[in-house]
Amino acid sequence: MMKKYFLLAFSLLFGLSQSQIIRKYSNEFLNIGAGARGLAMGGAVITNQDDVYSPMWNPAGLMSIERDWQGAAMHAEYFESIAKYDYLAYAKVLEEGVFGVSVVRLGVDNILNTTQMIDSEGNIDYDKITKFSQSDYAAILSYAFRPGGNPKLDVGVNAKIVYRNVGKFANGYGFGFDVGAIYKADNGWKFGGMVRDITTTVNFWTINQKELSTVVNGEEFNPAPKDKLELTMPKLNVGASKLFEINSSVYVLPEAGINVDFAKTASLISTDFASISPYAGAELGYQKMIFVRLGINRFQSITDIEDLKRKVSFQPSAGLGIRYRGLTLDYAITNSGIGGSNFYSNFFSLKLDMGAFRND
More confident residue, 118 or 320: 320
Mean pLDDT, residues 197-225:
66
**In whole angstroms, what is the distance from residue 68 CA to residue 64 CA?**
12
More confident residue, 89 or 76: 89
Q: What is the largest CA-CA distance in the chain?
A: 78
Residue type, 303: T
pLDDT value of position 358 = 65
**In whole angstroms, what is the distance from residue 178 CA to residue 59 CA?**
8
More confident residue, 338 or 123: 123
3-state secondary structure of 357: helix
User: Are 329 and 322 a contacting pair, CB within 8 Å?
Assistant: yes
Domains located in the chain, CATH noted: 20-356 (2.40.160.60)
As beta bridge partners, residue 173 has 163, 204
Mean pLDDT, residues 82-97:
91
**In whole angstroms, what is the distance from residue 302 CA to residue 268 CA?**
9
In angstroms, how far is CA 348 from the centroid of its own chain?
16
3-state secondary structure of 146: coil
In angstroms, how far is CA 301 from the centroid of its own chain?
22
- Could you tell me which residues come within 8 angstroms of residue 11 by beta carbon, excluding any fewer than 6 positions away? none
3-state secondary structure of 325: coil
- What's the CA angle centered on 295, arms 162 and 156, to 5 degrees? 40
More confident residue, 231 or 278: 278
**In whole angstroms, what is the distance from residue 106 CA to residue 86 CA?**
7
3-state secondary structure of 109: strand
pLDDT value of position 211 = 64
pLDDT value of position 311 = 75
In angstroms, how far is CA 316 from the centroid of its own chain?
17
For 146-205, the pLDDT digits (tens) are: 999 899 999 999 999 999 888 778 888 889 999 999 999 999 999 999 999 988 888 888
Mean pLDDT, residues 126-151:
87
Supply the DSSP string of 253-303, one letter for each residue.
EEEEEEEEESS--SBSEE-SS-EEEEEEEEEEEETTTEEEEEEEEEEEEEE
For 273-306, the pLDDT digits (tens) are: 888 999 999 999 999 899 999 999 888 777 666 6
The candidate with the shortest Cα–Cα distance to 257, out of 184, 190, 178, is: 190
User: Are 200 and 15 a contacting pair, CB within 8 Å?
Assistant: no
Whether the CA torsion 43, 40, 29, 314 is positive or negative: it is negative
Residue type, 244: F
More confident residue, 141 or 298: 141
- Could you tell me which residues come within 8 angstroms of residue 26 by beta carbon, excluding any fewer than 6 positions away? 201, 203, 230, 231, 232
The candidate with the shortest Cα–Cα distance to 65, out of 51, 83, 45, is: 51
**In whole angstroms, what is the distance from residue 190 CA to residue 187 CA?**
9
pLDDT value of position 28 = 79
Mean pLDDT, residues 108-135:
72
User: Are 93 and 85 a contacting pair, CB within 8 Å?
Assistant: no
Radius of gyration of the chain from Cα atoms? 22
User: Are 82 and 261 a contacting pair, CB within 8 Å?
Assistant: no
